[in-house]
């Protein structure tokens, strides 16, 4: 006890809470909430949180809720910029060493993109610097994975996704869904993406600004690869030459995800990408 009657140092309230939910009708939920409360109390005691700071924290979380609606998920953005989304992804990953790392899909993914031929041009407005993407999909032993479904989505040369400005970009611009060949190869034509800042106009952006953190994402192309017998891969390939490459606000950059946009003699760029799929039996929860 700390002399204030509630054992603030010893976590007595947290223990009392755990006892209260010990017989919860959903035991897993009871254990999870008791675990969160235990860590929360320990953190609050460790930080010596004041009533004023608690009030400010509640105010911030209230604003995050108000900024969230069916078109904007400020809570997910908060989890992303705190590195929580990437940590959870890493902790739940059972990918063997050598498999391409999974990353968050993010809010700009669309599942309803029509299938296009392998080799298609996914730039539907023809704006931007042309890029040819050549890809290869293999398993952890280096054997080709034929017939995988490859989904791709990216921002344009101004750093804007098609669904952020539906009045300016054609529907499904810079999005594709195509089937890789039997030798695991695929190709597509697109334009060089530009990096973009995360939304700065909400409470999360304002918090990061007050913390002096940058909100930028280095230029990247998102890929999702689905093949029977393998874990679904959702990942990005980042432009290794983007000056923001060391400062991804979402902590998503890994050495295996760096790509080079190589200038071509006839103009435009070539980007070669390789994906190593993890077997399904290694899948975790």
Residue 152 tokens, joined: 């791709």
**Does position 250 bind ligand BEZ by CB under 6 A?**
yes
- Mark 209-238 with x for binding to ligand BEZ (rule: CB under 6 A) and - for no binding: --------x---------------------
- Which of positions 29-88 make contact with ligand BEZ (CB under 6 A)? 80
CB of 201 to ligand BEZ, least distance (A): 14
* 257 sits near ligand BEZ (criterion: CB under 6 A): no
93-112: contacts with ligand BEZ (CB under 6 A): 104, 106-108
DSSP H helical ranges for the chain: 12-20, 27-47, 51-66, 74-81, 84-92, 203-210
User: Which of 177, 217 has the CB closer to ligand BEZ?
Assistant: 217
What is the distance, to the nearest Å, from the Cα of residue 241 to the centroid of all Cα atoms in its chain? 20
Closer Cβ to ligand BEZ, 74 or 139, answer by number:
74
- For ligand BEZ, the nearest residue by Cβ is 106
Closest separation in Å from C-beta 104 to ligand BEZ: 5
Q: How far is the CB of 275 from ligand BEZ (least distance, A)?
A: 17
Q: Shortest gap between Cβ of 285 and ligand BEZ (angstroms)?
A: 22
Location of structure tokens 């004023």? 52
CA 243 to chain centre: 20
**How many residues belong to the site for ligand BEZ (CB under 6 A)?**
8
Q: What are the DSSP calls for 70-85, one per residue?
A: TTB-HHHHHHHHTTHH
158 three-state secondary structure: coil
**Smallest gap, in angstroms, from Cβ of residue 102 to ligand BEZ?**
13
Which is closer to ligand BEZ, CB of 11 or CB of 193? 193
Phi, psi of 110 (to 5 degrees): -125, 135
Nearest to 147 by CA among 117, 187, 179: 179
Minimum Å gap between C-beta 48 and ligand BEZ is 33
Q: Is 198 in the site for ligand BEZ (CB under 6 A)?
A: yes
CB 14 within 8 A of CB 6: no
Q: Angle CA(68)–CA(79)–CA(19) in degrees, nearest 5?
A: 100
Residue 19, classed as helix, strand or coil, is: helix
Please say which residue, 83 or 130, places its beta carbon nearer to ligand BEZ: 83
Query: What tokens does 166 get?
Result: 């539906």
Cα 155 from Cα 173, distance rounded (Å): 9
Indicate the residue among 180 and 250 with the shorter CB distance to ligand BEZ: 250
Per-residue contact flags (x/-) with ligand BEZ for residues 165 to 194, judged by CB under 6 A? ------------------------------
Nearest by Cα to 119 from 132, 106, 130: 132
Per-residue interface string for the shown chain with ligand BEZ, residues 108-147, x marking contact by CB under 6 A: x---------------------------------------
CA distance 203 to 56: 12
| Interacting residue ranges for ligand BEZ, rule: CB under 6 A | 80, 104, 106-108, 198, 217, 250
């Amino acid at each position: 006890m700390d002399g204030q009657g509630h054992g603030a140092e010893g976590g007595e309230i947290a223990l009392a809470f755990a006892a209260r939910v010990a017989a919860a009708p959903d035991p897993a939920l009871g254990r999870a909430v008791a675990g969160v409360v235990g860590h929360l109390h320990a953190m609050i005691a460790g930080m010596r949180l004041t009533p004023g700071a608690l009030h400010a924290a509640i105010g911030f979380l209230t604003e995050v809720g108000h900024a969230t609606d069916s078109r904007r998920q400020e809570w997910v953005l908060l989890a992303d910029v705190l590195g929580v989304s990437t940590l959870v992804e890493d902790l739940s990953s059972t990918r063997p060493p050598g498999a391409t790392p999974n990353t968050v899909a993010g809010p700009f993914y669309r599942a309803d993109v029509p299938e296009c031929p392998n080799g298609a041009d996914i730039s539907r407005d023809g704006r931007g610097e042309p890029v040819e993407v050549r890809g290869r999909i293999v398993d952890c032993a280096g054997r080709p994975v034929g017939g995988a479904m490859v989904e791709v989505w990216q921002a344009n040369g101004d750093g804007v996704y098609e669904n952020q400005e539906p009045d300016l970009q054609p529907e499904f611009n810079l999005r594709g869904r195509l089937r890789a060949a039997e030798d695991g190869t695929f190709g597509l034509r697109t334009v060089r993406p530009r990096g973009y800042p995360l939304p700065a106009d909400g409470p999360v952006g304002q918090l990061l600004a007050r913390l002096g953190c940058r909100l930028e994402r280095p230029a990247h192309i998102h890929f999702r690869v689905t093949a029977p017998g393998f874990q679904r891969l959702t990942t990005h390939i980042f432009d290794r030459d983007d000056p923001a490459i060391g400062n991804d606000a979402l902590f998503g950059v890994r050495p295996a995800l760096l790509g080079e946009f190589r200038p071509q003699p006839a103009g435009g760029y070539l980007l070669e990408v390789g994906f190593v799929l993890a077997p399904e039996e290694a899948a975790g929860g």
